[in-house]
Amino acid sequence: MNINILSIRDTCRTNLIEYTRKAFGKIPYIDEPQLLDLGCGTGATSLQLAELTNGNIVAVDEDKDCIDFLNSRIKKLHLENKIETIHSSVFKARLPEKSFDIIWAEGILNIIGFEKGLAFFRPFLKDKGYYVVHDDIKNEKIKIIQACRYKIKDSFELPADAWWKSYYSCLQKKLQELADSCKTDSTMLRLIQEEKQHVEGFLTRPETYHSMFCILQKDNG
């Protein structure tokens, strides 16, 4: 992925960080927690979690360009001792069982499967550990959460227009600015057009982007 596209994605994604902070604030204080950020992408969430906690973060993503982008930011911010990155499928990453106080999953369960994502990573949580999920809103997911042996400790919906106001309008604007600055670069224009398809997908069905955070706790009962 082109560095300019990654930078645009990261900048716009940061506009949603207020909801990450809100979700983290609903977890009881844990001193020096161990966190796992699944599908970390360019690392906006990982970097925010590093600010919010005195613990350590393991950030996993199979996209090498995203991991390289995050590593460059980690180095720039001198966070090498706080954030460890793993370039791997989240299912193939070598992770020790019962080692994480918090697992963070913003959007990835929508890709890998909600039930599969909850069940597969449960063994890596410590007893009574927390699993924070940001996903689309579907009532049937409550039954899945219970079947996977988690308790819902808290939840909140994002405003209906949050994805447009905070992310996709930003993406649309910055992609156009980039296109205007490189009108003779056919390769870049092709990449920009491919990225614009994400905006077009949103505009086609904006109602499907209504999402919520769920703060789950591993149920050992």
- Per-residue confidence of the chain (221 residues) as pLDDT tens digits? 789 999 999 999 999 999 999 999 999 999 999 999 999 999 999 999 999 999 999 999 999 999 999 999 999 999 999 999 999 999 999 999 999 999 999 999 999 999 999 999 999 999 999 999 999 988 789 999 999 999 999 999 999 999 999 999 999 999 999 999 988 889 999 999 999 999 999 999 998 889 999 999 999 86
Domain housing 40: 29-161+210-218
Q: pTM of the entire structure?
A: 0.94
Give the pLDDT confidence score for residue 49 in this predicted structure. Answer: 97
Give the pLDDT confidence score for residue 220 in this predicted structure. Answer: 82
Give the pLDDT confidence score for residue 1 in this predicted structure. Answer: 72
Q: How many domains does the chain have?
A: 1
Does residue 106 lie in a domain region? yes
Give the pLDDT confidence score for residue 208 in this predicted structure. Answer: 86
Please, which residues have CB within 8 angstroms of residue 97's CB and are 6 or more apart in sequence?
123, 124
Give the pLDDT confidence score for residue 207 in this predicted structure. Answer: 87
Cβ atoms < 10 Å from Cβ of 88? 15
Does residue 135 lie in a domain region? yes
Does residue 182 lie in a domain region? no
Q: Are 157 and 210 in contact (CB under 8 A)?
A: yes
Pairing of strands 211-218, 83-87: unpaired
Strands, sheet with 34-38, edge to edge from the N-terminal-most edge strand: 83-87, 56-61, 34-38, 100-106, 125-136, 211-218, 150-157
Give the pLDDT confidence score for residue 221 in this predicted structure. Answer: 64
Does residue 145 lie in a domain region? yes
**Alpha-carbon gap, residue 48 to 41, rounded angstroms:** 13
pLDDT in tens, 145-156: 999 999 999 999
Does residue 195 lie in a domain region? no
Does residue 167 lie in a domain region? no
Does residue 9 lie in a domain region? no
User: 153: domain CATH number?
Assistant: 3.40.50.150
Give the pLDDT confidence score for residue 91 in this predicted structure. Answer: 97
The letter for the amino acid at 17 is: I
Does residue 94 lie in a domain region? yes
Give the helix, strand, coil percentages of the chain, each rounded to 5.
50, 25, 30
